[in-house]
Amino acid sequence: MDGSLSPRGSDLPAKIARLVEERGWNQEDFARIANLNRQTVRQILITGANRRLRNATVSQCADALGLTVNELRTQPLERLLPRMHGAPPIDQDTITTLYERARMQDLINWVERNKERASQLSPWEVEELLALQGPEGPLAKMGVEHFIDLIERKRRLIDKLHLIARTEYLPLLEQMIELMHHKISVR
């Protein structure tokens, strides 16, 4: 790379290569995590500037990097680099929805103190949280932080499941889930 932080839109492979470098992954790591052929990864990471990528390849790269395809294609590199080090994107729409629909002061206060965490909530997580409101509801009894922690734990678990599901361990994952499902459904 020439030291510039913003590869041109047509230079998507160079952007991917820089983000992979920021993650500290080598070619083999990235190939495994993205579930891509090593030759494809080598072409992206080494000779990438001249290569046009298929949509499916871009999607797999974005998933591996923890980004959406739209973010990977459209966001400048300087906005994506902090994400490679764990900084979440701020989704102002999520925060606005929480402010508009929160009826409990504890929830409103939590959102004000934790904008970054609040912005990470998906629409269904927001709905789950809002449904717990009420003077005698679970949110009032157990506290906002308790339920946010549960939501974030579930999200991390689901992310890990998605990663495992893209590997040769998918059959083992299916067996484990079936066993657990059977155990809890027999109760």
Contact 147, 129 (CB under 8 A): yes
SS (H, E, C) 72-125: HHHCCHHHHHHHHCCCCCCCHHHHHHHHHHCCCHHHHHHHHHCHHHHHCCCHHH
Q: Which of 35-44, 87-96, 114-123, 164-173 has the lowest mean pLDDT?
A: 87-96
Q: Please tell me the predicted confidence (pLDDT) of residue 156.
A: 86
* pLDDT tens per residue across span 73-100: 888 787 787 777 666 555 677 788 888 8
**Spatial distance between the Cα atoms of 86 and 35, rounded to a whole number of angstroms:** 22
> If you search the block for the tokens 């946010």, which residue do you land on?
148
The single-letter code of the amino acid at 184 is I
> What average pLDDT does the segment 47-54 reach?
68
Complete DSSP assignment for 18-50:
HHHHHHT--HHHHHHHHT--HHHHHHHHTSGGG
Q: Which of 2-6, 144-148, 157-161, 172-176 has the lowest mean pLDDT?
A: 2-6
What are 38's two structure tokens? Answer: 């090593």
Confidence of residue 53 (pLDDT cuts 50, 70, 90): confident
> What average pLDDT does the segment 2-25 reach?
70
Q: Please tell me the predicted confidence (pLDDT) of residue 51.
A: 66
Element (H, E) at 15: helix 12-23
What does pTM read for this prediction? 0.51
Q: Please tell me the predicted confidence (pLDDT) of residue 3.
A: 37
Domains of the chain listed by start with CATH number: 9-84 (1.10.260.40), 88-187 (no CATH)
Show Cβ contacts of residue 78 under 8 Å, excluding neighbours closer than 6 positions.
Answer: 5, 6
Confidence of residue 8 (pLDDT cuts 50, 70, 90): very low
High-pLDDT (> 70) share of the chain, %: 88
